[in-house]
Amino acid sequence: MPRRSDVRDMPLYLLDLIGVAVFAASGALAGMAAHFDLLGVLVLASVTAVGGGTLRDVLLDRHPIFWIRDSGPIVAILGATVLTLVWVRFFPVPTHALLVADALGLALFAMSGAQVAEDAHCQPLVVVLMGTLSGAGGGVIRDVLVGRAPLILRQDVYASAAIAGIAVYLILRAAKRSSRSAFVAGFVVVAGVRLAAIAFEFRLPVPGLPQ
């Protein structure tokens, strides 16, 4: 995540925190649906929000891990979890708004993860893997903990949206486009593909075994 002292990166940093909060809210909702206790809900919210980025940092040997270096994500997780607990007690869950926010969070985390891997001088395939892990890894951990098949292993266009956006980013970077413009283009592709999949119920094909 950008350092708060870097004013130029402040908008991106704030977007990162919003993404963390949205993923934390989805984890908290999953924990409540699975009838976890309060601590379990908080744990699930945390791993959903920062699990992917943590795995990325461990695999790339980046220390300290981003949420240890900067406590902003932890504060965002706590705030989002408390707000979610209070909200569901008095209001219906804003499912559509959360889906849109989740798509934007996926796009942001996938692209920022790709940039982290690129800065670490990783090969393009590894950049794609690390970016996808950053965006979707927390959701995989969440699904495993609540005992269901991870979203990215089902038909939903989720990780594939991240892969498409990161591929666009790498193509533009290879064409000598600026990191910022490539980031924006990749972000738009990830978010656009994911939102289109939600709106039109796109699904990936399921290969069948021969009879």
Short-list 72, 71, 90, 94, CA closest to 25: 94
Helix axes 38-59, 95-119, angle to 10 degrees: 30
- In angstroms, rounded to a whole number, what is the distance separating the alpha carbons of residues 42 and 32? 10
Torsion sign over Cα 64, 70, 73, 74: positive
Q: What 3-state class would DSSP assign to 160?
A: helix
Quote the pLDDT of residue 211.
Answer: 58
pLDDT higher than 50, residue 8:
no
Quote the pLDDT of residue 175.
Answer: 96
When pLDDT is cut at 50, 70 and 90, the band that residue 210 belongs to is low
pLDDT higher than 60, residue 6:
no
When pLDDT is cut at 50, 70 and 90, the band that residue 208 belongs to is low
pLDDT higher than 60, residue 201:
yes
Residues 157, 202 contacting (CB under 8 angstroms): yes
Identity of the residue numbered 99: L
Quote the pLDDT of residue 155.
Answer: 62
Q: What percent of the chain has pLDDT over 90?
A: 68
Higher pLDDT, 18 or 50: 50
pLDDT higher than 50, residue 68:
yes
Q: 13 vs 2, 96, 115, 116, 189, CA distance in Å?
A: 5, 24, 14, 14, 20
Domain boundaries, the chain: 7-200
Short-list 167, 171, 169, CA closest to 182: 169
Average pLDDT over residues 162-178: 96
The predicted-structure confidence for 87-118, as pLDDT tens digits, reads as follows 999 999 888 888 888 898 899 999 999 999 99
Q: Which two tokens stand for residue 99?
A: 């889906």
pLDDT higher than 60, residue 7:
no
When pLDDT is cut at 50, 70 and 90, the band that residue 150 belongs to is confident
For tokens 């908080």, the residue is: 42
- In angstroms, rounded to a whole number, what is the distance separating the alpha carbons of residues 161 and 112? 15
Residues 25, 98 contacting (CB under 8 angstroms): yes
Higher pLDDT, 18 or 173: 173
How many helices (H) does the chain have, and how many strands (E)?
8, 0
When pLDDT is cut at 50, 70 and 90, the band that residue 3 belongs to is very low
Can you give the pTM of this predicted structure?
0.86
